[in-house]
Amino acid sequence: MTELREPILDPDLPIIDPHHHLWDLRPMVPMFPTPHHPFIAAIAPNAHYTFDQLHAHLTTGHNIVGTVFMECGAFYNGAYGDALKPVGEAEFVNGVAAQSASGLYGPSRYCAGIVGHADLMLGSGAGAVLDALHAAAPRRFKGIRHAGAWDADASVLGAPFHHPQGLYRDTTFRAGFAELGKRGLTFDAWVLEPQLPDVIDLARAFPDQPICLDHCGTPVGLARYKGTLPERFDEWRGNIRELARYENVVVKLGGLAMAFCALPEDGPCAGHGSEHLAGLWRPYIETCIEAFGPERAMFESNYPVDYWGADYATLWNAFKRLSRGAGADEKAALFAGTAARFYGLEDLLA
């Protein structure tokens, strides 16, 4: 594992990192030996990723003014019962946010927004979970993510991430999904590239529900998809352009350094420079920005999962290289403004 020491590009540019995790996976990692899946190789060095590790990455030179925590099954509280156990995660992260808000660790506001998890397969019963999540972090809870990533070959995702086929089209799921709109909450969608039509159908069915597509729709380049990124690019691009037609959808520009995408294939954190990474990611990032526009697109770190492909400072340098041709207003949107609007964090930019 090699972390580079590149000079920080455009160090004063304000950034809201709209997608990172916090967790303690040390009890889980021994269950999945490193050869089992590249994801385990990527997160093993960061199996314990809480406040100190996050703070170390966010203070490597870029101007991170605030962040959004993304659910990842961390610190669930089984004492609350199966439906409500994700509330434990929101409680934990709200505590981290309070640490940051004290100002003792600098001006950045970590976890200023919290995206939790509720099982939308509870149907209308998911409303009670959403209310409990809000009560756990009333000033910071913004919405949920219920991942739908699936593939017929279970080895593509590995056991921790395999969700039911066609989840976003399920009528019970959609009954739960409708509860978000009643409360003005956001939804983050994580699927693999072949499943993008499921997100398109969901956005069409709920035109007033704010939806964020995570990780550029997750192009896949491992297991049975190894070597197929070029031949699948046109289908991915067509689906991205179709999804962008729905004004309720925004896109996160990142996640491409995940082991799932094989951009790069080697990791974890193999030491590629930001110029090389920008070259790998350019077709996907530029397609998304052209389709959605800067006002509906936001760069993300997806840390520490994207540790597979890049250290934190190099990751943001790559994004800055990719936006060199953008105007000042466009950069402001891509690096902070879109995230601030979508998650209601405008105060971070005041």
pLDDT band at residue 48 under the 50/70/90 scheme:
confident
In a domain, 264, yes or no: yes
In a domain, 6, yes or no: no
| Burial class of 110 by CB neighbour count within 10 A (0 to 12, 13 to 18, 19+) | buried
Question: How many domains, the chain?
Answer: 1
Token pair listed for 40: 């385990």
Tokens 């916090």 -> residue: 22
In a domain, 161, yes or no: yes
- 3-state SS record for 191-259: CCHHHHHHHHHHHHHCCCCCEEECHHHCCCCCHHHCCCHHHHHHHHHHHHHHHHCCCCEEEEECCCCCC
Mean pLDDT of 92-101: 98
User: For the domain that residue 151 is a member of, what is the CATH number?
Assistant: 3.20.20.140
| CA-angle at 211, arms to 189 and 68, nearest 5° | 75
pLDDT per residue over 180-223, tens digit each? 999 999 999 999 999 999 999 999 999 999 999 999 999 999 99
Tokens 């920005």 -> residue: 289
pLDDT per residue over 316-325, tens digit each? 999 999 999 9
In a domain, 276, yes or no: yes
Rounded-to-integer distance, Cα 26 and Cα 39, Å: 14
Query: What pLDDT is recorded for position 322?
Result: 98
Res 227 pLDDT > 90: yes
Query: What pLDDT is recorded for position 75?
Result: 95
Higher pLDDT, 48 or 34: 48
pLDDT band at residue 34 under the 50/70/90 scheme:
very low
In a domain, 8, yes or no: no
Residues of the domain holding 24: 14-349
DSSP 136-156: HSTTTEEEEE------SSTTT
Res 171 pLDDT > 90: yes
pLDDT per residue over 242-260, tens digit each? 999 999 999 999 999 999 9
Rounded-to-integer distance, Cα 65 and Cα 14, Å: 6
In a domain, 219, yes or no: yes
In a domain, 4, yes or no: no
Mean pLDDT of 136-147: 98
In a domain, 112, yes or no: yes
Rounded-to-integer distance, Cα 240 and Cα 297, Å: 12
pLDDT band at residue 2 under the 50/70/90 scheme:
low
pTM above 0.75, yes or no: yes
